[in-house]
Amino acid sequence: MRRRRLRRFLRHRLAVASAVVLALLILAAAFAPAVERLLGADIRNVDLTALLQGPSLAHPLGTDELGRDLLVRLLYGGRISLLVGLSAAVFSALIGAVVGILAGYFGGRLDDLLMRFTDGVIALPILPLLIVLAAVDLTKLGLPASVANASDISLYRIIVITALFGWTGVARLVRGAT
């Protein structure tokens, strides 16, 4: 069955080309610091002599209004997007699997309670809730200011918030299979 799917996929040239391009983009984003060194660009330095340049050999996608290389900036942005997406997906799957296994294995009242809680989370208007939770001042929740104001805290906050609201489909699927 798998061989048939693989052969069918490999016969479709556009699908193979798309998979190769996607893999190259993921690898380039994952190794953005190496690409940065390879291109000789520095994402942190402002180059006032290279403002808004068009594409060239030195800057394949050109530069922005501060003279920074756009390709390197896009790769670093892709790296962050991959980190957030993969981390949130893993944590969502873990939470959903635990809730689904508990509900399916024990059944009865625990099943009813967990599945109604899951339904309640599904019913929440997620986008406004995400905006409100992202704006919460963490120092008022007891976190030290050094932690709450760290440069990476917003990244972790996005991962946690996304994982806390993305587990419901996994929980239903696992519960149904258990």
Q: What is the DSSP letter of 66?
A: T
* CA pseudo-torsion sign 153, 82, 60, 58: positive
pLDDT digits (tens, 9 = 90+) for 110-126: 999 999 999 999 998 88
pLDDT for residue 91: 97
pLDDT for residue 31: 94
Helices and strands: H and E segment counts in the chain: 9, 0
The overall average pLDDT reported for the chain is 90
Instruction: Return phi, psi of residue 75, to 5°.
Output: -65, -40
Q: How many CB atoms lie within 10 A of CB 124?
A: 12
Tokens of 8: 């069918």
pLDDT digits (tens, 9 = 90+) for 122-170: 998 888 888 888 788 777 777 787 777 777 778 888 898 889 999 999 9
Amino acid at 163: A
In this prediction, residue 171 has a pLDDT band, given cuts at 50, 70 and 90, of very high
pLDDT digits (tens, 9 = 90+) for 61-97: 999 998 888 999 999 999 999 999 999 999 999 999 9
Of 107, 111, 84, the residue nearest 166 (C-alpha): 84
Of 76, 95, 78, 75, the residue nearest 162 (C-alpha): 95
Q: How many CB atoms lie within 10 A of CB 142?
A: 7
pLDDT for residue 149: 72
pLDDT for residue 122: 94
Check whether 33 has a pLDDT greater than 90: yes
Check whether 43 has a pLDDT greater than 90: no
pTM of the model: 0.80
